[in-house]
Amino acid sequence: MLTNYIKIALKVLGRRKFFTFISLFGISLTLVVLMVATAVLDNVFAPRAPESKFGRVLGVYRLGMHGPHFNSTGNPGYRFIKEYVLGLPGAEATSVFTSQSMLAIYHEGRKIDTHLRRTDGAYWTILDFDFVEGGPFTEADNENANFVAVITDDMRTKLYGRGVPALGKTFEADGQRFRVVGVVKAVPLIRESGFSEIWAPIRTLKTREYERQWMGSFRGIVLARSESDFPALRREFQRRTSTFVFDDPKTFNRLEAGLDTPFESVARGMLGNQVKGNRALILRSILFAAALLFMLLPTMNLVSINLSRIMERASEIGVRKAFGASSRTLVGQFVVENIVLTVIGGLIGFALSWAFLAALSRAELIPYAIFDVNVRIFLYGLALAVFFGLVSGVYPAWRMSRIQAVNALRGGAL
């Protein structure tokens, strides 16, 4: 039965080529926009190297201090991460590192614009970089303030030339001379915790002032043994921070800090830094509502086209009804026909999305980012296509099922 419905659907689509083209164009264009947006969000937030373990990582990315007259929100400082995040009970590992900073370095008379991040040794156990030379520096290197560094393969090329080994070589950055101990594959700019082009130990900073700052330019991350440990880790973190003592209670007397996933951190940055309230759920709801609204217009257009197409087949419907076809059978047939149409549009949209994302990657608008359409994105797109088919096909099919056989045979409608 289903095979016959699909064969009929393909015949019907070839009967009115212009309407079919308009329908496929609307479906594929809508799905291209939605799939490209989904693919970009997937590349930003889904666990990917070197953040492959981030499905079970929580972080302190934002810190708010509030008082009667003053409010301050930004990145936490080293002191806060050290006292309230590092060594959190129940965690597999914890790490502290700086935000990546831009700087210009001069090497053999050439200016090179780059990014530098300073980390502890545990950073390299939580993030899984792909080393092409050497390895990471250790916590001992950090404690001893050894001037060692890990660089990307692209930075290696900029410093020493294409294909030239960098291990053991030196370069100057931020007025300090570092020795290369490892080279990793370049990391996309959109990987918030993993991106940089140069990594060096925290204690190579020129001053120890950062050790006394509650707020600054640091982040702290916690690797859980499994995602099921998130609630316990958050409770322990809140228990710890509940005893926070302000340096000057007259200036600040309330703390806002939470252990967040990267998406939760973005949501709190966009919708308010309050820990209470599920900001991530609100942001997901907003994105979902925006996607539905974006789909509404093409869906309504597709409903109108399908309604016209079905009413043109009134005589066919009348014959089917006269020979005993039930309304349920006819509705099933026309819904299947519409799903076939939208799946074809979805496949076209998938191909166009793949081409667009490949072009976006080649354009290098976002450094080192490679956008792709993986299996998860394909399933999202397929679900959207089926949703299109059901929503835009059910009402026309229901209208069709109510046509009286006699009126249908005469070419009439309801």
At 314-367, the pLDDT tens digits run: 666 666 666 666 667 777 777 777 777 777 877 888 888 888 888 888 887 788
Is pLDDT of 176 > 70? yes
pTM of the model: 0.80
pLDDT of the residue at 45 = 84
Residue 20 pLDDT > 90, yes or no?
Answer: no
Round to whole Å and give the CA distance between 136 and 138.
6
pLDDT confidence of residue 277: 59
Tell me the pLDDT tens digit for each residue of 57-78: 999 999 999 998 888 889 999 9
Most confident by average pLDDT, 63-72, 123-132, 183-192, 341-350: 123-132
pLDDT band for 407, please (50, 70, 90 cuts).
Answer: low
> What mean pLDDT value characterizes the chain?
84
**More confident: 61 or 282:** 61
Predicted pLDDT of residue 127: 97
- Among 23-32, 234-243, 379-388, the range scoring the smallest mean pLDDT is 379-388
Angle subtended by helix axes 327-363 and 314-322, to nearest 10: 140
CA-derived radius of gyration, the chain:
29
For 93, the token pair is: 């590992």
Percent of the chain whose pLDDT exceeds 90: 44
Q: Name the band, by pLDDT with cuts 50, 70 and 90, for residue 306.
A: low
For residues 369 and 341, the answer to whether their CB atoms sit within 8 Å is: no
Residues in the chain: 414
**Alpha carbon distance 357, 363 (integer Å):** 10
Neighbours of 348 (CB within 10 A): 18
Q: What pLDDT shows up at residue 359? A: 87
Looking at residue 99, its amino acid is S
Higher per-residue confidence, 368 vs 310: 368
Alpha helices for 226-374 (secondary structure H): 230-241, 262-271, 279-311, 314-322, 327-363
Phi and psi at residue 253, to the nearest 5°: -140, 5
Domain ranges of the chain: 2-46+291-409, 62-259
pLDDT of 412 strictly over 60: no
CB 271 within 8 A of CB 360: no
pLDDT at residue 405 greater than cutoff 70: no
Where are the extended beta strands (E) located within 108-239? Answer: 110-119, 131-134, 148-152, 170-173, 176-184, 198-201, 218-224
